Structures are given as C-alpha cells and as structure tokens.
Amino acid sequence: MSTEARAMYNVGKAGLTFWSPTMNLLRDPRWGRTLETPGEDPYHIGKYASSYVSGLQQQDDEDRLKVAACCKHYTAYDVDNWKGVDRVKFNAIVTKQDMEDTFQPAFKSCVTEGNVASIMCSYNQVNGTPTCADKDLLSGVIRDQWRLNGYIVSDCDSVDVLFRDQHYTKSPEEAAAVTINAGLDLDCGIFFANHTFNAIQTGLVKEAEIDRAVTQNFIVLMRLGFFDGNPRKHKYGSLGPKDVCAPAHQELAREAARQGIVLLKNEENLLPLSAKSIKSVAVIGPQANVTHDMIGNYEGIPCSYITPLQGISEHVDTIYAKGCNHVLCAPINLQLDDAKKAAAQADITILIVGANRSVEEESRDRVSLLLPGQQGTLISEVANASKGPVVLIIMSAGGFDISFAKSNDKISSILWIGYPGQHGGAALADVIFGSYNPSGRLPITWYPESFSEHISMTDMRMRPDPSTNYPGRTYRFYTGTPIYPFGYGLSYTTFKYLVVKSPRRISIPLKDGNQCRSKHCRSIGAAGSYCNNLSFDVQIRVQNTGSRSGADSVLLYFTPPHVHNAPRKQLIGFEKIYLEPHEAKNVVFKVDVCKDLSIADEEGERKLAFGKHVFQIGNLRKYVILRPSIKQKVSSDWKPVNY
C-alpha cells in the first residue's frame, strides 16, 4: 500500500497522510464498522496495528516516513447508529478496568510498538467528556505516557460536534480552546480555522499551545519530505504508474484473501472438491457474482475483479441463479423456483450469501444477527431441493446466527470469506478446489440471535454480571454458547501439538519490606524491579498428522487465577507455520511475565496474580504457578498452592 501511495504521490494523484488503520476493538457484533476492524482481541489488534503502521510508514534511521499512518478512533468508540442512539451524542460509560485491559491496549501498541505518526480521537464521549477534549486521554496518556512522536487529530467535525450536538461548551471559541488545551493538534474540518483566533484574542488559548500544535503537524510533514523539493529526486522518486497494480501486488491481494478464508464446517471432508469428478456446480445467491461488494468501504480503485462465480467457473461448468436480487432479500425479490431448479440439476450446490454496505457500514449498525431478509429461507429451500451436497459461503464482516445451517445435514461445508477484495472469487475457488488449504481463524465471536434480543448495544460492560443475567462480551468474558467461537477455523489436514518446553513454577523475587513477603496476597503490581528480565519460553512442537500440506495458525491463550474478575482466557501469542504432510516444527513463544500475564484490577492497575496460570494451545493445556520468592519462613496466614 505504501509503495502504491508513493507512486501516486509522485504523479500528483495522492497525498501521504493516510488516516488508517481503524483498530477499534469489536465489542458488539452489531457494530456497522465491523468491516473496518481487525477483530475483538486486544492483543491481536495491537499486533495488527503496529504491523500495519510499520508497513505503511517504513520509518528509516533518520526518522523519515514513506507514508504517515493514523490509528483511529480513540477511544471506546463502537456505536454508530443503533435504535436512535448515534455516535455524536453517545456517552460511553466505561470502567477503569475495561478501559485498561480492553479499549486502550491496542492504541498503546500502535504508539509504543508501531511508532505511529498520528492518533485520531473519536466523536463519542467517555464518562461524560468528549474524547477530543479529554486532557487526561490526549496529553496525559497519548503524549506523556506513550510518548507519541506525531500529531493528534480529531475525527472529521468532532470539535463542531462537541459544541453543537453535545453542548459541551457554551461557545465555539470555548470548544476550540478546550480541545487545543487538551492536546489536539489538528481539526479535521474548518472549526479551528473559524474560531481559534477569537479564542486566542479572548485569552482562552495561549499562543504557546498553537505553537505546539503547529510544530507537531509540521514535524510530520518534514519527516515525509514535503519540504525537500521535487519528490522525484529523493528516496522513493523512482516509483510511478508501473508500481500501481503491479503483478506482485495483485497476487498479494489474492494471497491475503486466501489466508483470510475460514473453514467453519466440513462434514465427511466434502471439501476440497475435485473438478475432474464434477460435471456441474450450481452457484446460487445474491453475492455470487458481485464485484464492488467484495472490497468493503474506504476502498481504493481495484485493478480488476474476479467474482466468486467467475472463479468457480474457471474450474467447472456452472449453473447460475441469483436466488435474490439483493442481500436484503425482501420476499418480493426471492427467486426460489430458479434457484431450486439449478440446485436440483447440479452435482454440487454452492450458495453465496451474506451482507454488504446496505447491511453493515459506518452509521449503520445492525439490530439483528440473523441473515438479512429471506436469505435463511433461500438457503434451507435450496438445500432441501439440491441433488448433491451443499457448500455455504458467507460474505460479510460481522458474524451471523447460522445455527440452522450448521445443523443441516444437507449443508456439508461452510466457509466465511469476509469481504475478500478484488480477486476474492479466485481465492475462494483456490480453497474450494484444493489448490490452497484454508488456515484462517475467526477474529470475532459469532453470537446467537438471543444476544441481540437481550443485550443493549450501548451497555459498555465487558465482564458478565450473573445477578442480571448479563453474559459479558467477546470470547474473553462471554459466558453464553457461541455459534462459532473466536479463533475457530478448520483445515483440510490435521495438526497435533506437544509441549516441548514450559516451566512449572515462576518465582517473583520480592525485596525486603514488600508486604507480600509476610502475608497472603492474591496479586501484586505488575511493575517494579522484580519484572526486569522476568520471562520464559513456551515451546510447542506442531506436527501435520494428515495427508495434505497446509498452514496452521498456532494460538497461545492463558487463563489467569480467578482474581479481579479476570478474563476467562486471553490470547498472548500467535504464529502461522506451514507444514508438509507428517512434518513437524517447533514454535517458540517468549512470555514476558509482567506484560503478558498481567491483568487489570478494578481500579485499572496492572497486577500479577499469584497461583495457577493455565496455558491453552488447541485442546492442549499446561499450567505454570506464579508465587512470591520468600526466603524466610512463610507466615501462618499464607496458604500455598498444592503443586
């Protein structure tokens, strides 16, 4: 992306400040901007964001940037327009604990690991204060704690919103002043241009604050080389039209789509299909032959399209029927007869359904987790009429309650393909016909429809509350039974895990005078000299026990002791490895005790819990016990764990 951005910049077709990535955690499955987010896990999102930023910016030893990235939208933002509640008036009530372990970690990674050039504050309020006017969140956290090397920008017209819609200030000058004084450096809009001078004249803003904001902006421009003369004469000056839609870039788009496809069901190993043994395939559904729907929103101009129908037709003869004219699939648009006729003729039926931007996008949250309109009827009727087995393809960002399809014996296989990009149809065919073995895992939980029926989208609590039957949110806290869990994904082969190396006990060296040397402590602060170099390796041997080569996404979770209302489990590492049949390789995860095993307490402070920490890799579970290192005799009120 950064190469094509520079190429377009060099010929006057693009700028160099890209307000991307969107990296808000998906707290609620109904959020319209699900298609922009990487998922629901803070660790995973942090790694995604820092890698994304590093790839865009290509920062060199002189602190110069190829492109300036921006991590957005800061913070606790994930309600757009739900049952009359819109983002410009929404006040997110968030506990200190949830802020620390859910909403902030990925933004911290973006700054401290990715060294992003910009952070964008969001429209909403958090605990009564607009994020763009919150000095603690902007100057206190982003600038002072995380040491942002760049500028802070508002989401477009956010400053105007806090004045006109939220009525946070009495005058526009006060709105300009409160945001600039909070640490905002740039307004996306014209509000600062119209009202900042008067704010200075009336003494609401000091000129030094303006100097600060201008400096932060100009430094980023300097790092991008805006003042270095003709860009053709500098580092990326040779890039041009030949570097846009280059063959390698188009193949990368196809490979990204392949890796993102998730196999959810594969009864009797129906997939992959053998093109040689199939005479015809019925390709049915409103998303079977779409183009623009495949690339989501905030999209670039694609080099070309390969639709699912086109991709499948490259391998076998196809019979095509829409089934519905549109994903909304109103009863009047249901075309069952043609669809059932096609399914009754073909050896295999492939149904391609799901969503698009008329269902989920910015300013459009969902109110249901069921497939839109009559899509469920289309699937069931076609499956019943089909001559052969059925493959169901879901094209969407958010998950759906497809329990009816999961339990339908006629539907042998289910694939989720997200919005797979310009060559998504080719990538889908690669997976269906076996030239690529799927290795994707769900980045989100797929909830039952009952979740949307009983849980308000505006309830920001992450943790469950048994007293009110509140089930909690995301795999880290949800106590209900999901349709498909976070991290789920099948392969055409099988893998076996073996723990090669992992400690059983870790001693926390405490200094004299620490209260946990003399009395029982459930936890201790995850900071201090005892955290220095306190780490260990978890080494896993992964073997491909099947007959097909393939990649495995190895996910390392841990479950902490039951203190401070800790998560049920938490991802702390992942790595994808490729294995030939019967081949085995070792994967090593380095675990930083105070960083990776810490949890947030009720006051939002990081703590290390003493006791048994359980690691999970697939169905394999091992534990390590954290305990204080105590040289003297343990006091009578200390109750050690039985090892």
**Residues taking part in catalysis:** 155
The C-alpha angle with vertex 106 and arms to 105 and 107, in degrees rounded to 5, equals 95
518 class by beta-carbon count within 10 Å (0-12 exposed, 13-18 middle, 19+ buried): middle
Q: Are 63 and 215 in contact (CB under 8 A)?
A: no
Q: Report d(CA 591, CA 574) in Å as an integer.
A: 12
Q: Which residue is listed with tokens 């700028």?
A: 15
Task: Report phi then psi at 2, rounded to 5.
Answer: -70, -35
Strands (E), 64-197: 71-74, 81-82, 85-86, 91-92, 118-121, 125-126, 129-130, 151-154
Concatenated DSSP letters of 312-352? HHTTS-EEEE-SBSSTT--GGGB-HHHHHHHHHHSSEEEEE
Q: Report d(CA 375, CA 369) in Å as an integer.
A: 12
Pairing label, strands 606-609, 599-600? antiparallel
* 3 state SS of 554: strand
The dihedral sign for the CA sequence 180, 186, 188, 190: positive
Pairing label, strands 81-82, 71-74? unpaired
Q: Which two tokens stand for residue 352?
A: 């391609």
Q: Report d(CA 432, CA 423) in Å as an integer.
A: 15
Q: Report d(CA 539, CA 502) in Å as an integer.
A: 7
Comparing CA positions, the residue from 72, 44, 69, 74 lying closest to residue 58 is 69
Number of Cβ within a 10 Å radius of residue 536: 15
* 3 state SS of 232: helix
CA distance to 17, 32, 256, 356, 395, per residue, from 296 (Å): 21, 12, 15, 7, 11
Output the CA torsion 610→614→615→620 (10° steps): 160
Q: Report d(CA 149, CA 438) in Å as an integer.
A: 39
Sheet of 129-130: strand order equals 91-92, 125-126, 129-130
Q: Are 24 and 77 in contact (CB under 8 A)?
A: yes
